[in-house]
């Protein structure tokens, strides 16, 4: 419940937004799908709100030869519905389609989800599997931080409070097949565990999230043409177990630590097998 007066800014340019953020301790508002519930529950008590909703330059897809830059204010629904994203970054498209419900996807933004860094967010392992980087801008300049270094701990990121997440950058590396799997108590709820996999000539990037303080990623060499996938699956499972041994696993009403750990491995295995099947189909000339 709002019990105090709010100052509300809605600049039309990023430059203007950065000037406000430089002078005031303002809370950034994107889609409001996480911030507004937090305010309603009394968990956040902002005095000044800086809305990014009037800034057109944060709502673009920019296809460069070596990467795709997605403006931070692009909504989950736009990602889910983009044909180009589905054709080039299928795993991102699949994850976006699972977020909340239609209302949440129509308002929530990719930048908001990345900045909020809820451990259960659908995008987090996808960002690691695709080796994404985030463009952070402030009145003093800009820097690009790799997803692997961005997510530090439970809802703690490398972003400074004077920085805005301006864009998500995805390298346009060769991908043969990818897959996304999540386990949630009911459809529309945050995942208990989720996994994203991208397979290309460099091997498999296997990332898991939902279970702990931050998402983790392992790179596993894989012979896509091998007749038997058992060895590769075992390597994925070993890699994921070793990676999650380094993070604090969450325990809550939905599941205890052991269940979450096991489900992370199950999600990783299934996402890997889905990506592998698609990689094999695409290399034999079939549809992914
Ligand atoms: C009912 C419901 C179900 C949901 N289910 C899921 C789900 O299944 N999976 C899932 O992944 N998510 C889910 N969400 C969360 C949803 O994806 C949110 O959209 C997302 O977490 C936050 O994005 P937002 O644009 O709404 O950000 P906001 O709520 O506006 O902001 C969130 C936080 O990030 C900061 N912030 C926002 N944008 C920026 C930026 N560009 N730069 C710096 N800081 C910024 C804000 O200051 C705030 O602290 C759900 C939300 C609801 C309400």
Ligand 1 atom nearest to 165, measured from its CA = 42
Ligand 1 atom nearest to 109, measured from its CA = 25
* Residues 270 and 245 occupy one common structural domain: yes
* Residues 73 and 123 occupy one common structural domain: yes
* Residues 79 and 154 occupy one common structural domain: yes
Query: pLDDT tens digit string along 83-137?
Result: 999 999 999 999 999 999 999 999 999 999 999 999 999 999 999 999 999 999 9
The residue out of 109, 140, 171 marking a domain boundary is 171
* Residues 167 and 60 occupy one common structural domain: yes
Q: Can you read off the two tokens belonging to residue 257?
A: 């630590």
Q: Best mutation site among 8, 21, 30, 160 for ligand 1, i.e. most ligand atoms within 8 A of its Cβ?
A: 30
Query: pLDDT tens digit string along 35-58?
Result: 999 999 999 999 999 999 999 999
**Residue 199 within a domain:** yes
The residue out of 171, 199, 225 marking a domain boundary is 171
Q: Does the Cβ of 32 fall within 6 Å of ligand 1?
A: yes
User: Given this model, what pLDDT does residue 3 score?
Assistant: 59
Residue nearest atom 28 in ligand 1 by C-alpha distance: 32
- Per-state percent for the chain, helix, strand, coil, to nearest 5: 35, 25, 35
Strands of the sheet containing 27-29, edge to edge, are: 7-9, 48-51, 27-29
**Residue 34 within a domain:** no
* Residues 60 and 164 occupy one common structural domain: yes
Ligand 1 atom nearest to 111, measured from its CA = 41
| CA end-to-end distance (rounded Å), the chain | 48
* Residues 76 and 166 occupy one common structural domain: yes
CATH of the domain at 143: 3.30.465.10
* Residues 149 and 77 occupy one common structural domain: yes
182, 210 contact by CB (below 8 A): yes
* Residues 71 and 162 occupy one common structural domain: yes
Q: Does the Cβ of 108 fall within 6 Å of ligand 1?
A: yes
Which string of DSSP letters, residue by residue, matches 96-124?
HHHSS-HHHHHH-BHHHHHHH--TT-THH
Domain that holds residue 89: 55-171
Return the residue matching tokens 């795993």: 91
Q: What pTM does this model have?
A: 0.96
Along the 288 residues of the chain, how does pLDDT read in single tens digits? 555 688 999 999 999 999 999 999 999 999 999 999 999 999 999 999 999 999 999 999 999 999 999 999 999 999 999 999 999 999 999 999 999 999 999 999 999 999 999 999 999 999 999 999 999 999 999 999 999 999 999 999 999 999 999 999 999 999 999 999 999 998 888 999 999 999 999 999 999 999 999 999 999 999 999 989 999 999 999 999 999 999 999 999 989 999 999 999 999 999 999 999 999 999 888 655
**Residue 5 within a domain:** no
Q: How many folded domains does the chain comprise?
A: 2
Q: Can you read off the two tokens belonging to residue 137?
A: 């801008």
Q: Check residue 57 and report its DSSP letter.
A: G
CATH of the domain at 273: 3.30.390.50
**Residue 163 within a domain:** yes
* Residues 118 and 188 occupy one common structural domain: no
Q: Does the Cβ of 27 fall within 6 Å of ligand 1?
A: yes
Distance 256 CA to ligand 1 centre (A): 25
Q: Does the Cβ of 29 fall within 6 Å of ligand 1?
A: yes
Ligand 1 atom nearest to 35, measured from its CA = 29
Distance 115 CA to ligand 1 centre (A): 8
Distance 107 CA to ligand 1 centre (A): 9
Torsion (CA) 14, 15, 18, 20 in degrees, nearest 10: -110
Q: Check residue 59 and report its DSSP letter.
A: S
User: Given this model, what pLDDT does residue 283 score?
Assistant: 87
Q: What is each CA distance from 236 to 201, 208, 240, 272, in whole angstroms? A: 16, 11, 6, 8
208, 122 contact by CB (below 8 A): no
* Residues 161 and 211 occupy one common structural domain: no
Number of residues written out for the chain? 288
| Mean of pLDDT over the chain | 95
Please give the Cα distance from 255 to 12 (Å, whole number). Answer: 44
């Amino acid at each position: 419940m709002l019990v105090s007066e709010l100052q509300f800014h809605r600049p039309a340019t990023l430059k203007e937004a950065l000037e406000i953020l430089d002078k005031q301790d303002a809370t950034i508002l994107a889609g409001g799908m996480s911030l507004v519930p937090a305010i309603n529950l009394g968990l956040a008590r902002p005095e000044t709100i800086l809305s990014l909703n009037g800034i057109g330059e944060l709502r673009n897809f920019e296809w460069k030869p070596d990467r795709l830059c997605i403006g931070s204010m692009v909504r989950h629904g736009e990602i889910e519905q983009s044909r180009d994203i589905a054709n080039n970054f299928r795993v991102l498209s699949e994850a976006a389609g699972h977020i909340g419900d239609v209302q949440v996807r129509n308002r929530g933004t990719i930048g908001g989800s990345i900045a909020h860094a809820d451990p259960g967010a659908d995008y987090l392992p996808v960002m690691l599997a695709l080796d994404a980087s985030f463009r952070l801008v402030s009145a003093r300049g800009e820097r690009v931080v790799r997803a692997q270094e961005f997510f530090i701990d439970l809802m703690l990121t490398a972003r400074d409070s004077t920085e805005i997440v301006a864009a998500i950058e995805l390298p346009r590396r060769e991908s043969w097949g990818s897959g996304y799997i999540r386990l949630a108590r009911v459809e529309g709820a945050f995942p208990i565990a989720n996994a994203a996999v991208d397979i290309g000539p460099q091997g498999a990037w296997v990332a898991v999230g939902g279970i702990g303080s931050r998402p983790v990623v392992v790179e596993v060499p894989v012979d896509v043409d091998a007749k038997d996938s058992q060895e590769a699956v075992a390597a994925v499972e070993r890699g994921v177990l070793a990676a999650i041994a380094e993070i604090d696993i969450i325990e809550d009403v939905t599941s205890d630590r052991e269940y979450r750990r096991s489900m992370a491995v199950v999600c990783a295995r299934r996402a890997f097998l889905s990506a592998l099947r698609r990689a094999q189909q695409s290399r034999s000339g079939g549809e992914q």
